[in-house]
Amino acid sequence: MADGSLQPILARTPVRIEASRLLRTLRPLRRWTLRGGPAVADAIQAAFGVAAPRTACRSAVNEDGSRAALWLGPDEWLLLAEDDGAQPGDPEAALRQVLAALPHSLVDVSHRQVALEVSGSDSALLLNSGGCPLDLDPEAFPVGMCTRTVLAKAEIILWRTQPGTFHVEVWRSFAAYVSAWLAEATRGLTE
Amino acid sequence: MNEGLRTHSGGRIDRSQPLRFSFDGRSYTGFAGDTLASALLANGVHLLGRSFKYHRPRGLLGAGVEEPNALVTVRRDAARITPNLRATQVELYEGLDACSQNRWPSLAFDLGAVNDLLAPFIPAGFYYKTFMWPRSAWHRLYEPRIRASAGLGRSPTLADPDHYAPRHAHCDVLVVGAGPAGLAAAQAAATAGARVVLCDEQNEPGGSLLADDPRHAPLVDGQPGPSWQAGMLASLAAHPRVTVLARATAYAFFPHNLLGINQRLTDHLARPRKDTPRERQWLVRAREVVLATGAIERPLVFPGNDRPGVMLAGAARTLLNRYGVLPGTRAVLVTADDSAYEAAIELQRAGVFVAAIADTRAISDPPPGVAGANATQLWMHAAQRAGIPVLTHATVTGTTGRRRVNSVTLARHSGLAGSSVTHPCDLVLMSGGFTPSVHLYSQSRSKLTWSESQQAFLPGAPAERVRCAGACRGVADLAAAASDGAAAGAAAAQAALDPARIGVQPRAPATPPPPVLPPHANHAAHAATPQAGGFIGALPRAGTARGRAFVDWQNDVTVKDLALAMREGFRSIEHIKRYTTTGMATDQGKTSNLNALAVVARAQGRAIPEVGFTTFRMPYTPVSFGSFAGPARGALFDPVRTTPMHDWAAAQGAVFEDVGLWKRARYFPLDGEDMHAAVARECKAVRAGCGLFDASTLGKIEVVGRDAVEFMNRLYVNNWSSLAAGRCRYGILLRDDGYVYDDGVVARMAPDVFHVTTTTGGAPRVLALMEDYLQTEWPQLSVWLTSTTEQWAVIAVQGPKAREVLAPLVDMDLGAAVLPHMSAVTGSICGVPMRLFRVSFTGELGFEVNVPADYGPAVLQAIHASGQPHGITAYGTETMHVLRAEKGYVIVGQDTDGTVTPDDAGLSWAIGKNKPDFVGKRSLSRAALVAPHRRQLVGLRTRDPAVVLEEGAQVMERAGARPPTRPLGHVTSSYHSAVLGHPIALALVAGGRDRMGKTLYVAGARGDVEVEVTGTVFYDPTGARLNG
């Protein structure tokens, strides 16, 4: 029973990642899986600061880069938000408000997955050597493109945020595997 | 090195870089740029191997990928031993340590050679006939002996210490083969703006150009071959979007233009860098593929054609021009093709005495002067002018020599005048023409068509976006091959870059027929119209002469073996292949298949296309296992999934078990405890006080939407309409065949939100099944599914003290009146947002605390601390299993096996009786699924309380029954219950619920065990503890 003896909010224990030459962990993010018809894509603009893209495998990012919406399917987006307390108001409450009248599903998956960043001039080469089968040529996979794919035996979401930088979302229990695989793939990468 | 066996200059070797190496323990010297084969020949070593079956002495047949004889083992250290390498493709490095194979005690003196004397008694298929009796001896005696004597190299016994790298790549145009056609194709495609990958199996690009004498090289595009080649390479290097891969064998053409390429990165280096992968396995997805894979020279089939010193004419040219090695001192050429004349003239120019050219063809005398003569006549003329006698309409009746050929006997075709002539020689060069390398093309399921004029299978209609260029489609002339390649490269680039190209495209147009060969400027003979050349099958009189005429060198298959197979009734080439093993060696018949086909066709009086060809299988050449495995070994073999609380459990001394990819804590032994003792203690602690269990691996699916309840009603057997928000229910999911597929507690968090849990192993397949139905059967439902398995850390707090443990930490009333059994609420614990379910898989008062995963460890520790006064005890999956079995709760996949209905499992109470439909409903009314004697889940108690039944043991009606008795069923779960003080078991037993109290028998290691049939609930049958 709540009796005032509640302890303060406990510390988070993030997933441990083996960083390597081209790989680092990103700060914890808030995440939601948004599902629904085309109407929800536009509706979130008011609450989230950015509309969900309608173009397949493309992302939208707000002005200061603190929020992003990634197209993952015709009725599915991944919403990402910085979790640094700088944003006033709870984005989830605001989102639920603007979506209330529309058929949709908004599920908090902040802790389901973790974000890794692969960056450097060899980043695409590393991903292609680390079990990602996609064509990562800048023409085929330009900045802003995102998709679900695999990295060896793990499912990932791959999002190119800069020419040499990829944001990788991976379910938490696969993060150690993915980072170890990428560390191994770094060996002799350009030989 | 034997100086006399090297040319004075020339070749692509670096004479300023001598390299020491050893073969069978003896030291030799070669040069950088040599292969092991060329360096050994330069040292006068012609005996390089022993044949597979007869242990006949063998030397080089070829000079490249086709080599069937010279298989060697290269050893770097105890773990780095690579068997079955073709010596013709092993690049020399300082300190190379190689040895021959399939001989004992030595290559020169091999006891296994007794097989050669026994040859009449061990024909094709002998092992199918000879070793039939006694049956048991096959495994114990015959098979191991045969395997030991008919051996290739030995596998290393230590783990492979090297690392292997995979790489995915994409391109517009992939060109396989960097010979004249391939270079031109890559250059044309790159010029057109395409992203190009060019791969070649050799250490340097060039293909057939590498075998030409640069001082007399034929012209390509008006330039001498070497300068044309250099220009092409410079042009390719200047294109930023061209990747050239050397030492890279395209070994497989997978569907949808995906090609497997095995690139060897360190095998040629004396001291590889530690981090460099030994091999890189490329998987290249190409919009268009150009195959410029060339052609392989065909041996001639005549008696004694396998002695060391009998080799392909083209191989001799390669040895001479590329490696500066004289393959012999006194040569006789046997040919059915013009190319051998060039070899003869070049060898003679280099100082080899060429005794004769025996041409199997009938060549009419050339007309006076050179004008009007055909190419063959001009070549013959050129040879005669060089002083080389030419015998036409010739055949070979035999060779002699033990470890190297020392004579060859030539004769005219039967019926022609002239007696046979025996020439002493140490080199017999043969050319039966060229077989286009259509392996990859055929692997792509594209059609091959027989060309009567070229006597070859050529590429026909493509099945993928693939085209062929150059010699692999019968365009053999150098200049013509280069222009053919350029045309193919340009066409491929145009097709790949077509702006209208989106998604699946129509097939590429059929390859046009080979153009009429344009004239070659270099040599009068090159310029003339070539004659139909080549010979397939056994030379005349080969079958009648003494000595064996080999068709397949590597598997020791002779013309007589093929004849025997046909006499024994085999007609299909596929059967003959398997019976004789022709073409089934590691070279996959690169030099032998077409000859075997022709031998069979001639004997059967059929045309070659009627006989057909055997399947071209991947890999083109053997590929190491390491390359396929890549990094997926050891710790990286599979993902190892751990829960957020894994480290805490490990710190508590947990012993983990694998559950799918997950590591789950199985039990938490204290000092000196074994599993039995730990589980007994954990069980008692839960029943008496409180236990703590990590249930995070359970699958979780958030089902959200206006139609969520309708979706759940259609999918699960239960009636979800009657479940209020804030309540949970045990749900059962069937397949459409009516059998139990998965189960789990489902909580209705809000009218349109369900928190569905699944079994740990079932999580992905349940979500997939749900999505399948949603997308294909019920797309009109407004509902969405999101996996939340890893969003939540789940901590089960179970036992009579559970409420006291949790109460101080949470912001809600946990009293039974507010939060009865099967309630679900949202709140917070230690200030962390929480979904709290009052559920139990133990039969005790229980809660499952769901918190966002990052908070799992801290919340777990808070609960653990709070539980100390109540004796809280961490327990693992083993205790969980015992506790749930005491309550008769089933585990899907353990107590069910995919043939168990809800009623069989005693769960028909869960079915929503008034629902119009759900997945599996109709199947449940099938006669077989309502039959009275179906196996039903019951409890079993052993009469002897000391005996714990074995899971999986058969349940019998009578004691002592022996097969063929039909068992009544089997034990599905069995444990010793520390709380009850006796063993308990669950079993599926035919008509089990009608056998309550009856005695049955369970097979055990020490005889049949007497058991009593009971209900499935052994503990607290009224559920008083659950509802406390």
Query: B338-397 pLDDT, tens per residue?
Result: 999 999 999 999 999 999 999 999 888 766 666 778 889 999 999 999 999 999 999 999
| Residue A87 in this model has a pLDDT that exceeds 70 | no
| pLDDT computed for residue B417 by the predictor | 60
pLDDT value of position B124: 78
pLDDT band at A42 (very low <50, low <70, confident <90, very high): very high
CA distance B908 to B683: 29
Q: Tell me, yes or no, if B156 comes closer than 8 A to chain A by beta carbon.
A: no
Split into its structural domains, chain A has a count of: 1
Instruction: Give Cα separations from B886 to B889, B979, B1011 (angstroms).
Output: 8, 9, 17
Q: What is the pLDDT of residues B557-586, one digit of tens each?
A: 999 999 999 999 999 999 999 999 999 999
Instruction: For residue B519, name the pLDDT band (cuts at 50, 70, 90).
Output: very low
The CATH number of the structural domain formed by B699-788 is: 3.30.70.1400
Q: Which residues of B189-226 are buried (b: 16+ CB within 10 A; e: fewer)?
A: bbbbebbbbbbbbbbebbbbbbbbbbeebbbbeeebbb
Q: Residue A105 and residue B786: Cβ atoms within 8 Å?
A: yes
Note the pLDDT of residue B1028.
79
Give the residue-averaged pLDDT of B914-932: 95
Residues of chain A found within 8 Å of residue B789, distances taken between Cβ atoms: 112
Of the candidates B174, B442, B451, B129, the residue with the CA atom closest to the CA atom of residue B286: B174
Fold of the domain built from segment(s) B645-697+791-875:
Gyrase A; domain 2 (3.30.1360)
CA B487/CA B900 separation, integer angstroms: 64
Phi-psi region of A148 (alpha: psi -120 to 50; beta: other; left: phi over 0): beta
Q: What is the pLDDT of residue A13?
A: 81
**Pairwise CB contact (< 8 Å): B167 & A128:** yes
Q: Is residue A11 part of a domain?
A: no
pLDDT per residue as tens digits for the range B478-492: 999 999 999 999 999
Shortest distance, CA A86 to any CA of chain B (angstroms): 20
Here the CATH number for the domain that contains residue A176 is 3.30.1360.120
Over 70: is that where the pLDDT of A93 sits? yes
Average pLDDT over residues B98-127: 81
Q: What is the pLDDT of residue B169?
A: 98
- Distance between CA atoms of B68 and B51, rounded to whole angstroms? 9
CATH placement of domain B3-121:
3.10.20.440
Amino acid A114: pLDDT: 95
Q: Does B655 touch chain A (CB under 8 A)?
A: no
Residue of A nearest to B829 (CA): A6
Q: Where is average pLDDT lowest: A10-19, B89-98, B960-969, B977-986?
A: A10-19
- Closest Cβ–Cβ partner in B636, B705, B832 for A10: B832
Confidence of residue B1006 (pLDDT cuts 50, 70, 90): confident
Sequence-ordered list of residues with C-beta below 8 angstroms from that of B213, at least 6 positions apart, any chain: B10, B320, B321, B346
B193 close contact with A: CB closer than 8 A: no
pLDDT score for B111: 80
Contact B950, B1006 (CB under 8 A): no
Give the C-alpha separation, A92 to A100, whole Å: 12
Q: What is the CATH number of domain B299-432?
A: 3.50.50.60
Above pLDDT 70, what percent of chain B?
A: 93
Please say whether the beta carbons of B890 and B910 come within 8 A: no
* Substitution target from A3, A12, A83, A126 for chain B, most B beta carbons within 10 A: A12
Decide if pLDDT at B530 tops 70: no
Question: For residues B351 and B9, what is the distance between their CA atoms, to the nearest angstrom?
Answer: 13
> Is B169 at the interface with chain A, CB within 8 A?
yes
Q: How far apart are CA B456 and CA B461, in angstroms?
A: 16
Q: Quote the pLDDT of residue B590.
A: 95
Enumerate the residues of chain A whose CB falls inside 8 A of the CB of residue B632.
152-153
pLDDT the model gives residue B41: 96
For chain A, say whether B196 makes contact (Cβ under 8 Å). no
Q: Is residue A84 part of a domain?
A: yes
- Confidence at B471, pLDDT banded by 50, 70, 90: very high
**Which whole number is the average pLDDT over A21-40?**
92
Q: How close, in Å, is residue B664 to chain A by CA atoms?
A: 13
Residue that wins the pLDDT comparison between A1 and A29: A29
Q: What is the pLDDT of residue A11?
A: 77
What confidence tier does B602 reach under pLDDT thresholds 50, 70, 90?
Answer: very high
Do B3-121 and B164-295+436-519 have matching folds? no
Nearest residue on chain A to B171, alpha-carbon basis: A135
Provide the token pair at B208. 């057939």
- Sorted by where each begins, the domain ranges of chain B are 3-121, 164-295+436-519, 299-432, 536-635, 645-697+791-875, 699-788, 928-1014
Give domain status of residue A36, yes or no. Answer: yes
Say whether residue B863 is in contact with chain A using an 8 A CB cutoff: no
pLDDT for B419: 79
Reported confidence tier of residue B53, pLDDT bands at 50, 70, 90: confident
Candidate from A8, A105, A177 with C-beta closest to B705:
A105
The answer on pLDDT for B512 being more than 70 is: no
Write out the residue range of the structural domain in which residue A144 sits.
23-186
pLDDT tens, B987-1002?
999 999 999 999 999 9
Count A/B contacts: CB-CB distance under 8 Å. Answer: 159
Are the Cβ atoms of A10 and B265 closer than 8 angstroms? no
**Res. B502: pLDDT tops 60:** no
**What's the gap in Å between the CA of A9 and the closest CA on chain B?**
5
Q: Is the pLDDT of residue B796 over 80?
A: yes
Question: Mean of the pLDDT values across residues B538-542?
Answer: 76
Contacts of B195 in chain A (CB under 8 A): 137
Provide the pLDDT for residue B622.
94
| Burial per residue of B864-885, b for 16 or more beta-carbon CB atoms within 10 angstroms, e otherwise | bebbeebebbbbbbbbbbbbbb
Q: Which of A27, A111, A126, A158 to mutate to test the interface with B (most CBs of B within 10 A)?
A: A111
Is the pLDDT confidence value at A1 over 90?
no
Q: Which residues in chain B have Cβ-Cβ distances shorter than 8 Å to A111?
A: 790-792, 852-855
Question: What length is written for chain A?
Answer: 191
Q: How far apart are CA B517 and CA B478, in angstroms?
A: 10
CB contact under 8 A, B631 and A181: yes
Backbone angles phi, psi at B636, to 5 degrees: -100, 10
Query: For the segment B251-301, what is each residue's pLDDT rounded down to a tens digit?
Result: 999 999 999 999 999 999 999 999 999 999 999 999 999 999 999 999 999
- The pLDDT of residue B119 is 79
Question: Residues B424-443: pLDDT tens digits?
Answer: 999 999 999 999 999 999 99
pLDDT of B222 higher than 80: yes
Interface test with A, best of B162, B163, B168 (most A CBs within 10 A): B168
Place A86 in a pLDDT band, splitting at 50, 70 and 90.
Answer: very low
Closest CA to B548 of B414, B399, B656: B399
**pLDDT exceeds 50 at position A6:** no
In this complex, do A11 and B641 lie within 8 Å of one another by their Cβ atoms?
no
> Which residues from A are below 8 Å from B810, CB to CB?
1-2
Q: Is B643 on the interface with A (CB under 8 A)?
A: yes
Q: What is the pLDDT of residue B504?
A: 44
pLDDT above 50 for A4: no
Q: Cα distance from A49 to chain B (closest Cα, Å)?
A: 24
What are the pLDDT digits (tens) for B720-751?
A: 999 999 999 999 999 999 999 999 999 999 99
Mean pLDDT value across residues B227-236: 94
* pLDDT digit string, tens, across residues B310-320: 999 999 999 99
Q: Which CATH number fits domain B164-295+436-519: 2.60.320.10, 3.40.190.10, 2.30.29.30, 3.50.50.60?
A: 3.50.50.60
What distances in angstroms separate CA B712 from CA A36, B187, B231, B747, one per listed residue? 19, 60, 69, 11
**pLDDT surpassing 90 at residue B690:** yes
Q: Does the pLDDT at position B949 exceed 70?
A: yes
Q: What is the pLDDT of residue B299?
A: 97
Window 270-309 of B: residues touching A by CB (8 A cutoff) are 273, 275-277, 283, 285
Lowest mean pLDDT segment, chosen from A114-128, B109-123, B434-448: B109-123
Please give the class, per CATH, of domain B536-635.
mainly alpha
Please give the residue of chain B at the shortest CA–CA distance from A135: B170
Question: pTM for this structure?
Answer: 0.92
Q: How confident is residue B541, by pLDDT bands cut at 50, 70 and 90?
A: low
Instruction: Answer yes or no: is A17 within a domain.
Output: no
Q: How far is B522 from chain A (nearest CA, A)?
A: 41
For domain B928-1014, which CATH number applies: 3.30.70.920, 2.40.30.110, 3.20.20.80, 2.40.128.120? 2.40.30.110
B1021 CB neighbour count, 10 Å cutoff:
12
Residue B979: count of CB within 10 angstroms of its CB:
17
Mean pLDDT throughout A52-72?
96
Q: How far is B565 from chain A (nearest CA, A)?
A: 47
- Residue B657: predicted pLDDT: 97
